[in-house]
Structure 1
Amino acid sequence: MNTNIDLHQLVECIGDAIVVADVHEKIVLWNPAATRIFGYSEQEALGNTLDLIVPERQRQKHNEGYSHSMKTGTTRYGASLLKVPAKHKDGRTLSIAFTVGMLFDASGKANGVVAVIRDESERFAEERALKKRLSDLENPQT
């Protein structure tokens, strides 16, 4: 097996967004897929907080959870696939699915998170339309 994998190239070419934020929620890594999904260029995203993509109504819960994770070095989500709303640069709401991992410094103290994110907006809309159609078929208007 070739172990000479260029990790920068991997991050750049993968189809899912990879977003890394530091202990203060400042974005320190933003790959091209993140630009495609959220509309912000790497230059616009780097140095901003995750509030850039977290909808206002979710921010307090998100910020509390993030702060708790940085203090404890744990996330309650583990390897679970999270499905939440997110905010695009143009203001529209996205439906995203992502996994999150904790990052640690050499002393073992939490110093950030990495999220691997996929835009599920189209699939979510299709699923919602199918559920409505099924409901309409099961409960016809008389």
Structure 2
Amino acid sequence: MEGKSRLAERILDQVADAVVYTDCSGAIIRWNRASATLFGYSPEEALGQSLDLIIPEHLRASHWGGFNAAVTRGALKLQGRPTLTRAAHKSGRKLYVELTFAIVKSDNEKVLGSVAMARDVTERVERERAGRDQPPVPL
């Protein structure tokens, strides 16, 4: 049987959702295959970079305020509930992503960083918005 850490790496690389782990400064430490597919950056391009890589400029101030507060408190306001937000693809295309976050702690409760799981929901959101723009169908 494979070692636990190797198995964990295989799981992370084979899940369909993007998994992005950052240290407490917001530097990207883990970037799985789905992250590369979703955001367009290879691991070599993303690792060590700031999360600003995928955060649209107009959302950065609010993101960093929430990120820093969560890392300082060691807790999230969202408590694992999914949230819809915008993200940026390497090509410049804007995405809608559904994210869940967690604070990662050591055995002695020291905050090590944060992890986000993301999935692309751009098609769904655009379809819903297009449907709202349509006039009601007469009966």
1:106 Cα deviation from its structure 2 partner? 3.5
Residue 13 of structure 1 corresponds to: 14
Aligned pairs, number: 134
Residue 125 of structure 1 corresponds to: 126
Measured on the aligned residues, the alpha-carbon RMSD in Å equals 1.5
The C-alpha deviation readout for 1:13-39, integer Å capped at 9, x for no partner, is 111000001001000000010011000
Residue 136 of structure 2 corresponds to: 137
User: Structure 1: which amino acid aligns with 2:128?
Assistant: E
SS of 1:9's partner is helix
Residue 110 of structure 1 corresponds to: 111
User: Structure 2: which amino acid aligns with 1:123?
Assistant: R
User: Structure 2: which amino acid aligns with 1:137?
Assistant: P
Give the 5 Å matches for 1:86-97. 86-97=87-98
Give the 5 Å matches for 1:1-142. 6-133=7-134, 136-137=135-136
TM-score, length basis structure 2:
0.91
1:54 Cα deviation from its structure 2 partner? 0.6
1:138 Cα deviation from its structure 2 partner? 6.2
1:113 Cα deviation from its structure 2 partner? 0.6
**Structure 1 residue runs without a partner (length 5+):** none
Please tell me whether Structure 1 or Structure 2 has the larger radius of gyration of its CA atoms: 1
1:107 Cα deviation from its structure 2 partner? 2.8
In 2, distance between residues paired with 1:125 and 1:36? 20
1:98 Cα deviation from its structure 2 partner? 1.1
1:58 Cα deviation from its structure 2 partner? 0.5
1:62 Cα deviation from its structure 2 partner? 0.5
User: Structure 2: which amino acid aligns with 1:118?
Assistant: R
User: Structure 2: which amino acid aligns with 1:7?
Assistant: A
In 2, distance between residues paired with 1:41 and 1:68? 29
Q: Show structure 1 runs of 4+ deviating over 2 A.
A: none
In 2, distance between residues paired with 1:137 and 1:84? 28
Kindly, what percent of the aligned residue pairs are identical? 33
In 1, distance between residues paired with 2:39 and 2:86? 12
